[in-house]
Amino acid sequence: MTNTLALQGTVPDVIDLLVGIRPGDALDTVRRHRLQARTHAHTSYLALFAPTAPVPGSVTLAERHAVAAFVAGLHQQPEAAGFYAAALVAHDAPPGLTPAIAAEIAHGAARGPYGRYPAGPLSAEDAEGPVYRVAPTARAVLGARLSAALEHANLLVFRPRDASPQALQELLNAGWSATDIVILSQLVAFLSFQIRVVVGLRALAAHPALPQTTEVQP
Amino acid sequence: MSDTPLTHPDNQEPTAFTQAQLEWLPWLAPLPEDELTDRHYAGLVDAARAKSPYFRLLARDPDTLGARTRTDKDIFYNPDAGLPRAERELSATATSRFNGCIYCASVHARFASHFSHREGDVQRLLDEGVSADLGPRWNAIVAASAALSATPSDFGPEHIDGLRAVGLDDYAIADALQGAAFFNWANRLMLSLGEPQLQVGG
C-alpha cells in the first residue's frame, strides 16, 4: 500500500478538483479560511483511498473504489461520479466490474432520506422507499462480499435511519470483519460529506455575490 | 476473533427528538482501552475520547478517525469570522433532524440552544422538523441544510440567494454548507454503528 504522507503533496485536493477551484480564486480564499478543514477533508480522502501501511482490516483498494463509484453514482453529482468511476478503472477493476457497478447505480437509484423511526410519535414520519438488493446478474460478477457492501452502502446513502444490527450481521456473514465494517461505513459517510461540499461550493461558485457597486444591473 | 453484532435488548430507545443528554450503545465491539496504541491515540486526537465507546469503535480505522476529527473541529470550533457558532450548530441540528439521527440532533440542539439562547426555537425545530418557522435567518439556514442533505441534493442558487438575503457572506455560507455536509457524515456513522439510549432516570 502507498504511504499517505508521501502522497499528500502529489494528489491534488479532490474537492478543489471537483469544484474547479484554482489557486487565487475567491473560493480558494474561502476554503483556506478553514485551512484545517480543507487539509483534513483531503487527508480523510487519502486515509480511505490511499491508506498507510500497516493498513487496518482487509478492505482492498479495489473494494474501496468499487463502493465509492457506486456511492458517487447514487448521488448524481456528475463530477464526483465521473471522478470515482475513473478511479475504479484506474485501479485495475477486473473485467465486468465497471459495467456491473454502472448497472447497479441505475438499479439502486432512489431519493432519500427515507426509512422508519423507533415506534412512537415519530412513526407518523416513517417514509417508505425501495429496499435495494443487488441484481442477480450483477451478484455473479461482484461476489457475495462486494454485493453485501453495495447493499449496505445503499442503505447508508438513502435510508440511514433503517440501519440495524441485522444489517451489520449481513456484512459479517459475507466476510466483513468489525474493522472492515468501520472502514466501509467511514468510506460511505465520508463521501456523503465530500460530495455535498462539492455540490454546495459549485452552487456558490456559479452564483457569485454581486460586486459592491451602485450600478444597476441591466 | 468473534465478530458478531452487539445487541441491547433491554435498552430504552428515545422515540422523539430531544435536547436531553443521551447515551450511545455500539453494535460492534469498540477496541479495548488497554489495547490502544500510539496510532490509535493519534486518531482519537483528544486522549479523553478513549473513554467513549463510539470513538474507540471508530479507532479501528485510526487515520480516518483522526482526519475526520480535525475536519470536524475546524468547521465547528474555529472562531475566526464566518457563521456564528450557534448557527453552525443549527446547521448540524437541522441536518440531523432531516436525516433522522436522534442522538446527533440531541447533542447539537443543546449546543445550538446554549450559544443562541433560543432553546424554544431549537425545540420547535426538533418537534416540528425542518419546516418549522424559526424566523427568516434561521429558516434560510435550515432550508439550505435540508436541501443539501437530500440525496441526490436539492441544493441550488435559490438557497445561496436565501442565505445572502439574511446577511450571510461567502465565508458564512461556506460554514453553513460544511456544517450540514459534515453532519451527513456524522449522522450515517451514529445511525448505523449503534443506537441511542435514554439516560436512566433522565
Q: What ipTM was estimated for this complex?
A: 0.97
The alpha-carbon gap from B113 to the nearest alpha carbon of chain A, in Å, equals 22
Higher pLDDT, A157 or A2: A157
CB A48 within 8 A of CB A74: no
What local confidence, expressed as pLDDT, does residue B1 receive? 46
CA distance A197 to chain B (A): 6
Contact B22, B105 (CB under 8 A): no
DSSP string, B141-191: HHHHHHHHHSBS----HHHHHHHHHTT--HHHHHHHHHHHHHHHHHHHHHH
| pLDDT confidence bin for A218, thresholds 50/70/90 | low
Of A27, A51, A168, the CB nearest to B27: A168
The label of the residue with cell 445487541 reads B7
- DSSP assignment string, B177-199: HHHHHHHHHHHHHHHHSEEEEEP
Give the pLDDT confidence score for residue A10 in this predicted structure: 77
Considering only CB atoms, which chain A residues are within 8 Å of B94? none
Distance between CA A91 and CA A105 in Å, rounded?
19
Within 10 Å of residue B11's Cβ, how many Cβ atoms?
12
Q: What is the pTM of this model?
A: 0.96
Please indicate if any CB of chain A lies within 8 Å of the CB of B11: no
A9 pLDDT exceeds 80? no
The C-alpha atoms of residue B126 and residue B81 are separated, in whole angstroms, by 27
Nearest to B156 among A160, A167, A203 (CB): A203
Q: Do A77 and B150 make contact, defined as CB atoms within 8 angstroms?
A: no
A36-80, pLDDT tens digit by residue? Answer: 999 999 999 999 999 999 999 999 999 999 999 999 999 999 999
% of chain A surpassing 70 pLDDT: 92
Nearest to B188 among A181, A188, A200 (CB): A188
Chain A residues within 8 A of B191 when measuring between CB atoms: 160-161, 163
Q: Tell me, rounded to whole angstroms, the distance of Cα A98 from its chain centroid.
A: 16
Is the per-residue pLDDT at A7 higher than 60? no
Exposure of B39 in the CB half-sphere (CA atoms within 13 A): 13
Return the C-alpha cell found at B96.
440531523
Residues B170 and A21: beta-carbon distance below 8 Å: no
Q: Does residue B155 sit at the A interface (CB-CB below 8 Å)? A: yes
Instruction: List the pLDDT tens digit at each of the 202 positions of chain B.
Output: 457 899 999 999 999 999 999 999 999 999 999 999 999 999 999 999 999 999 999 999 999 999 999 999 999 999 999 999 999 999 999 999 999 999 999 999 999 999 999 999 999 999 999 999 999 999 999 999 999 999 999 999 999 999 999 999 999 999 999 999 999 999 999 999 999 999 875 4
Cα dist from B20 to A204, B23, B90, B105, B123, whole Å: 36, 10, 16, 10, 11
Q: Which CATH class is domain B83-190?
A: mainly alpha
Q: How far is B89 from chain A (nearest CA, A)?
A: 16
pLDDT of residue A5: 47
Enumerate the domain spans of chain B. 22-75+193-198, 83-190
Distance from C-alpha of A166 to C-alpha of A205, rounded to nearest angstrom: 42
Q: What is the pLDDT of residue B202?
A: 44
Q: Which residue of B has its CA nearest to A43?
A: B67
DSSP-based three-state secondary structure for B26: strand
pLDDT over threshold 70, residue A116: yes
Average pLDDT of chain A to the nearest whole number:
93
CA distance B156 to chain A (A): 6
> What pLDDT, on a 0 to 100 scale, did the predictor assign at position A214?
54
Q: Are strands B194-198 and B22-26 parallel, antiparallel or unpaired?
A: antiparallel
Query: In the prediction, which pLDDT does A93 show?
Result: 81
Q: How far apart are the C-alpha atoms of A52 and B135, rounded to whole Å?
A: 48
State whether A113 and B99 contact (CB < 8 Å).
yes
**pLDDT score for A215:** 53
Nearest to A46 by CA among A17, A9, A80: A9
Residue A216 predicted with pLDDT over 60: no
- Least CB-CB distance to B191: which of A163, A177, A181? A163
Evaluate whether B133 touches B117 at the Cβ level (below 8 Å): no
Full DSSP string of A125-141: G-B--------HHHHHH
> Residue B74: its pLDDT value, please?
98
C-alpha cell at B189: 456513522
